């Protein structure tokens, strides 16, 4: 294993009945990188990150994170080791207010006195721009703010690696700008793996892009290389 890599998968595979959603994937992510994972619908992106985070079990293959084999580690232990994530499906607690949502997420990985947890929660809310909404019930927030709240909950886990599955889906233009700014800011401390459909976001944020199609990695490279890649154009960018 390359010691610079925070995350590595070897021959990672997941079947669903007759479908191979993730097919023999060798993937590696360097500490400190901002990586985008792209590909058409059904390519296997969500399944791949579900395997990485431990939401589902691999059919075969290996996953290592921060120099440890985590293939069979339960999801909560992966969180404890520094994996944070937000998923395509909204994962906020709709009946709690913003502060309570972030506070709960922060608690999962926090050692220290309650007042520190409190100020840490406030800091995260500030960082994502939700401080003024802290006493608003999460379920009543505008959609864009709910997505930001999810990111806040991911950040509250103080992850080494933050995985975001289509975070800008449904966001308005201005909100997408705020999102990009936020990711740049947190990327100083956190390695980012971003599944994203918005090509402007991908091309301006990612240092490197991995392209999946039909369960396999079909290309990997810088934004310039990916834009110039013919296989990618055919499979994804529409010729
Ligand atoms: N829980 C599941 N049960 C059965 N098939 C699934 C399940 N999750 C995903 N799949 C299938 O696996 C393939 C990859 O899906 P997914 O990982 O969601 O792709 P993406 O996120 O790239 O759109 C698709 O064919 C999808 O229908
Ligand atoms: Mg998906």
CB of 205 closer than 8 Å to CB of 186 = no
Residue 2 has pLDDT above 70, yes or no: no
pLDDT band at 239 (very low <50, low <70, confident <90, very high): very low
Over residues 209-218, mean pLDDT: 96
The pairs formed by 55-62 with CB atoms below 8 angstroms and a separation of 24 or more are: 56/14, 57/14, 58/12, 58/13, 58/14, 59/13, 59/14, 59/15, 60/11, 60/12, 60/13, 61/9, 61/10, 61/11, 61/12, 61/13, 61/24, 61/25, 62/9, 62/10, 62/11, 62/12
Q: What percent of the chain clears pLDDT 90, i.e. is strictly above it?
A: 74
Residue 178 has pLDDT above 70, yes or no: yes
Q: Which of 14, 19, 37, 52 to mutate to test the pocket of ligand 1 (most atoms within 8 A of CB)?
A: 19
Specify the residue with its C-alpha closest to ligand 1, atom 24. 42
pLDDT at 20: 98
pLDDT at 85: 85
Specify the residue with its C-alpha closest to ligand 1, atom 26. 42
Query: How far is the C-alpha of 120 from the C-alpha of 156, rounded, in Å?
Result: 8
Ligand 2 (single-atom ion) residues, CB below 5 Å:
46
What would the pLDDT profile of 24-59 be if each residue is shown by its tens digit? 999 999 999 999 999 999 999 999 999 999 999 999
Which ligand is the nearest neighbour of the Cα of 40?
1
What token pair was written down for 42? 């059904």
Over residues 2-13, mean pLDDT: 91
């Amino acid at each position: 294993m390359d010691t610079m890599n925070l995350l590595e998968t070897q021959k990672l595979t997941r079947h669903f009945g007759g479908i191979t959603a993730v097919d023999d994937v060798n993937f590696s992510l360097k500490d400190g990188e901002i990586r985008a994972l792209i590909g058409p619908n059904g390519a296997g992106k969500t399944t791949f990150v579900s395997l990485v985070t431990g939401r589902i079990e691999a059919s075969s293959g290996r996953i290592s994170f921060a120099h440890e084999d985590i293939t069979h580690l339960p999801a909560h232990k992966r969180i404890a080791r520094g994996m944070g994530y937000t998923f395509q499906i909204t994962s906020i607690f709709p009946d709690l207010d913003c502060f309570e949502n972030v506070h709960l997420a922060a608690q999962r990985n926090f050692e220290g006195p309650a007042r520190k947890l409190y100020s840490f929660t406030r800091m995260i809310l500030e960082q994502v721009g939700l401080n003024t909404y802290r006493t608003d019930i999460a379920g009543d927030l505008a959609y864009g703010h709910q997505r930001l709240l999810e990111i806040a909950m991911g950040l509250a886990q103080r992850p080494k690696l933050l995985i975001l599955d289509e975070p800008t889906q449904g966001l308005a233009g201005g909100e997408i700008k705020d999102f990009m700014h936020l990711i740049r800011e947190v990327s100083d401390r956190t390695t980012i793996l971003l599944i994203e459909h918005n090509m402007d976001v991908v091309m301006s944020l990612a240092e490197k892009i991995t392209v999946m199609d039909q369960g396999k990695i079909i290309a990997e490279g810088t934004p310039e290389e990916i834009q110039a890649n013919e296989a990618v154009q055919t499979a994804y960018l529409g010729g």
